[in-house]
Amino acid sequence: MITLDFLINAITLGSLYALIALGLVIVYGILKLANFAYGEFIMVGGYALYMISTIAPLPWLILAILAVLTAVAVSYFTELIAFRPVREKSLTALLITSFAVSTLLQNAALIIVSPRAKAVPLPQLFSTSINILGSDVPVRNVLTIITAFAIFGLLTLLLRKTVLGIALRAAADNFKMTRMLGVPANLVISAAFIISGLLAGVVSIFWVGRTASVTPTIGAAPLLVAFIACVIGGMNSLLGAVVGGFVYGFLFSFLSLLLPQGLLDYREAFMFVIVILILLFRPEGLIRNKYSGERVG
Amino acid sequence: MKEKTLNWFYHNSTIVLLVVPLLIIALIADNIGDNLIERVITVLFINLVIVLGLQLFMGNSGILAWTHVGFMGIGAYASVLCSMTPEAKALTLPNLYPVIAQIHLPFLVSILIGAVVAAFAATLISYPLMRLSDAAAVITFFATLIVIHVVLIRWDVVTNGPRTLFGVERYTYLWTSAIFGIITVIAALWFKESALGLKLRASRDDRYAAASIGINIVRVRWYAFIVSAFIAGLGGGLWAHFITSFSPSAFYLSETFTLLAMLVVGGASSVSGAVVGTVVVTLAREVLRGIENTATFTQVLPVDLLGFTEVFLAIALIVVLALRPSGLLGSREITWKRKRKVIPNGNGFETETNPEV
């Protein structure tokens, strides 16, 4: 029943989901902000790919890099303009701001581009497949896995070996203490948003690559994925996000395989029921962190 | 003695100061007799009911609750299933369970049943959720909203699936909604000062201190959540009998955004704030919709303005939150008395101290 095909699909989904979750958690760890606008950064990446390709006939790789940079820029500027003024005041205000930013970006896409789906240019490579041990595997999946693991590696290096990385990790553990030790809050938070935008941009290329089109509401699905994965893995650790992403990817693949046709439509409801159960019985997720403290009663 | 009477009046002036202007708005709309204005004001009062339902829980407990639009949806569908004639139901919901298909109840009974069903759903699912706070609570409530939405969409025997449910008779007119709106204002003010409301606010301001004086936070939150789901369900019923045809997508993220905007612009932690926010945002929204539609139909501008209203509201919301994170009114109620010390607490939501109490 479990074939190589299935495994590679599950790993692809898992690594994509892990990337998505990582982008959300890197901000959450520091600000405790479940960023509702995160899905829209992914949408912005997709639209950038579409819009830049209509303006200038550039090689695809450059287009993709520009799209990622656009997502980074949007992420950074929303932090600067929308989140920074509210940050110190109240978590509720911060959350509502992120919801407002999400609505704003979505409707801006509606006005500036169109409510209809737009075709996004993709390289030939994305639609070909190669033969691995007797099963046809789309190159896109292989690329997703390679990119994801390259990013995990680079991020690990960044977080372990550089001063900024150490500051980011310290801030995720205890932001107040980190600030008292002289790490500037603005720098750390901006860096977190930039990394978040970078991940969103990379994800957008592969997410859009699955359907080859982009719509204003495309960000909703990855946002939910990120929420679920973070909750499963543990909201307070980066490793947890990666683990959660993979667990979710595998779980989702299994549910698709095992659920009868009639219940497939309820797949998302099932996933969210799992999320609610995890939050109730193990609110710190699979990967524990010393500093998690959410529960009341 | 005189001092005491005056104090009593100061304390209770909020009800008068909120209800009288609302009555005046309803009277003016009634007397102008313009169909459009009447509809706008009807919507205003329906929004008021739902926003106050949200305020009752969110404002007093400090927990950002996304689920209420879901309960509004449950109230809407449940009430409509009671009030529609069996013939209309056979037309739009041919596979409906026979027990429900036969029911035909008067409007008021129907919306009350809708509200009770919403409150019952809240009773069942919410107790464990009340243990959570902060971000975990936000994601859980969000997940609950999605679960309700998926169920509404997929349970097509009862809801006609993602398609529009039609054949509802219109019962909600200006005065129906105005009366319910005003009753809800009074109820929300009363709740805030009731024992339950005080305990809930104590738990919002400092959950450890509140627990230490014997307040069972989970239970207090749970009761408040049920009451607020009841009000949201009532609002949903009113709305359903006003709009007369709707689909589950009406009870999802864009509606959540609008309601949150109404609540937060005015100030979530006071009833006055919720009322002011609802009035301001509803009117602004109608004006913007007008502009959006005119521009789209007449093609004055080179671009379509679809989504313009949401963009404007989102920007307004971001600006308000940046400048006044606790809303235009903060946590103050509108009263005659102006002299009140306001001290900010850690949440950013202001807490007021009253020297007399």
Q: Which of residues 65-104 of B touch A (CB under 8 A)?
A: none
**Contacts A115 to B, Cβ<8 Å:** 306-307
Task: Determine the Cα–Cα distance for residues A164 and A177; give it in Å rounded to an integer.
Answer: 16
Out of B154, B306, B315, name the one closest to residue A266 (CB).
B154
Residue A64's contacts (CB-CB under 8 Å, 6 or more residues apart) are A49, A205
Q: What is the pLDDT of residue B351?
A: 42
Contact: A89, B348; criterion CB under 8 Å: yes
Q: What is the pLDDT of residue B303?
A: 63
Average pLDDT over residues A267-283: 75
Q: Taken in order B200, B201, B204, B207, is the CA torsion positive or negative?
A: negative
Confidence of residue A1 (pLDDT cuts 50, 70, 90): low
A207-230 pLDDT tens trace: 988 888 888 888 888 998 888 888
Is residue A236's pLDDT more than 90?
Answer: no
Task: Determine the Cα–Cα distance for residues A276 and A259; give it in Å rounded to an integer.
Answer: 20
Is residue A98's pLDDT more than 60?
Answer: yes
Lowest-confidence segment of A191-195, A267-271, B81-85, B346-350 by average pLDDT = B346-350
Question: A263-276 burial, b if ≥16 CB within 10 A, otherwise e?
Answer: eeebebbbbbebbb
**Contacts B260 to A, Cβ<8 Å:** 96, 99
Q: What is the pLDDT of residue B64?
A: 86
A63-81 pLDDT tens trace: 999 999 999 999 999 999 9
Q: Which of residues 23-42 of A touch B (CB under 8 A)?
A: 28, 32-34
Average pLDDT over residues A55-60: 85
**Contacts B130 to A, Cβ<8 Å:** 296-297
B202-211 pLDDT tens trace: 998 888 899 9
Q: What is the pLDDT of residue B147?
A: 85
Is residue A234's pLDDT more than 90?
Answer: no
Q: What is the pLDDT of residue B350?
A: 42
Measured over all CA atoms, what is the biggest interatomic distance in chain A, rounded to whole angstroms?
59
Average pLDDT over residues A92-104: 90
Lowest-confidence segment of A39-43, A56-60, A278-282, B96-100 by average pLDDT = A278-282
Query: Which residue out of A79, A91, A99 would a mutagenesis test of the B interface target, given it has the greatest number of B Cβ atoms within 10 Å?
Result: A99
A238-262 pLDDT tens trace: 888 899 999 888 888 887 887 777 7
A156-186 pLDDT tens trace: 899 889 999 999 888 887 888 888 998 898 8
**Contacts A103 to B, Cβ<8 Å:** 254, 257, 310-311, 313-314
Distance from CA of A145 to the nearest CA of B (A): 28
Contact: B64, A279; criterion CB under 8 Å: no
| CA proximity to A27, closest of A96, A100, A90, A76 | A76
> Which tokens sit at B170?
């219109």
Q: At what angle do helices B271-298 and B2-32 cross, to 10 degrees?
A: 20
Q: What are the boundaries of each domain within chain A?
A: 4-281
Is residue A34's pLDDT more than 50?
Answer: yes
Q: Which H helix or E strand runs over B180?
A: helix B174-193
Average pLDDT over residues A268-278: 75
Residues of chain B with confidence (pLDDT) below 50: 344-357
Q: Is B348 on the interface with A (CB under 8 A)?
A: yes
User: 3-state DSSP call for residue A65?
Assistant: helix
Q: Is B268 on the interface with A (CB under 8 A)?
A: yes
Distance from CA of B153 to the nearest CA of A (A): 10
Q: What is the mean pLDDT of chain A?
A: 85
CA A138 to chain centre: 22
Average pLDDT over residues A272-297: 65
Out of A85, A273, A295, name the one closest to residue B322 (CB).
A85
Fold (CATH) for A4-281: ABC transporter involved in vitamin B12 uptake, BtuC (1.10.3470)
Question: B92-108 burial, b if ≥16 CB within 10 A, otherwise e?
Answer: bbeebeeebbeeeeebe
